[in-house]
Amino acid sequence: MAGLIDSNKQSLSNGTGDPIADADGLLGQARGIEAQEAGEIAAPATVEEEYAAAMVQMVEEKQDQASQIEDRLENMIESQSARLTQVQGHPPGILASATTRARWQAQVAQAQATVQLLQARLETVREIRDGITVHGSKIEALAAEKLEYRQPKLADDFAELQEARRLHEIHTRQQQEKKREDRQGLVQDAAPSSGLSLTRGLSQNRGSSGA
């Protein structure tokens, strides 16, 4: 910073003889000082911000992967369904042997099983992409695991931050509960004294009336 200020002072004292050029130069120097100051005082991104940004990237990657797998499975199902239709559309003739008919039936059964298997795989992929757990979406859980693998330090820092926040909330609730119990205790302690004072006051009033 000192070097920049010294160089600025030197430029200011020399000048170019052209007022407009000198003014532009001064403006540029001022902006340079402003930019340097902003860079020095700018606070680094918090762990939460870094983790959130990384999670967004991981979730997008997982969603893209799931979408690509889904597209491939849909294409495979379409292809196998067309093959099944083709096989079913060409059954053996009446005069075909038992072996030929059995082979055709096996081909139909295999094609049907393949289509069903691919459909089950597709449903699993969609469940992973769109499924919800008690902790959020499944895709977010997978993204968190991937982030922990790629950036273990960031994941650890975020976990420590979450744990510290949880403990702080527990401590705050305990303090609030203790204050509430203390207030209730004071009210209960004060109640008998008030009743006793009222009883004494009534007794004194009755005594005065009798006199």
CB 126 within 8 A of CB 70: yes
Q: What are the tens digits of pLDDT across the range 101-130? A: 999 999 999 999 999 999 999 898 888 888
The answer to whether the Cα torsion of 139, 144, 150, 151 is positive or negative is: positive
DSSP state of 95: T
Asked if the model's pLDDT at residue 41 lies above 70, the reply is no
Domain boundaries along the sequence of the chain: 1-42, 45-150
Q: Dig out the tokens for 100 from the structure.
A: 């030929």
**Where would I find the beta strands (DSSP E) of the chain?**
132-133, 136-137
52-61, 69-78, 132-141: least confident range: 132-141
Cβ-based neighbours of 185, under 8 Å, separated by 6 or more: none
Distances (CA, A) of 22 to 16, 45, 145, 169, 206: 6, 38, 57, 58, 100
Whole-number pLDDT of residue 37: 47
Buried b (16+ CB within 10 A) or exposed e, 118-156: beebbeebeebbeeeeeeebbbbebbbebbeeebeebbe
Instruction: Summarize the confidence of residues 59-70 as an average pLDDT.
Output: 88
Question: For the chain, what percent of residues have pLDDT higher than 90?
Answer: 17
Asked if the model's pLDDT at residue 151 lies above 50, the reply is yes
Q: Dig out the tokens for 194 from the structure.
A: 């008030």
Cβ-based neighbours of 155, under 8 Å, separated by 6 or more: 51, 144, 147, 148
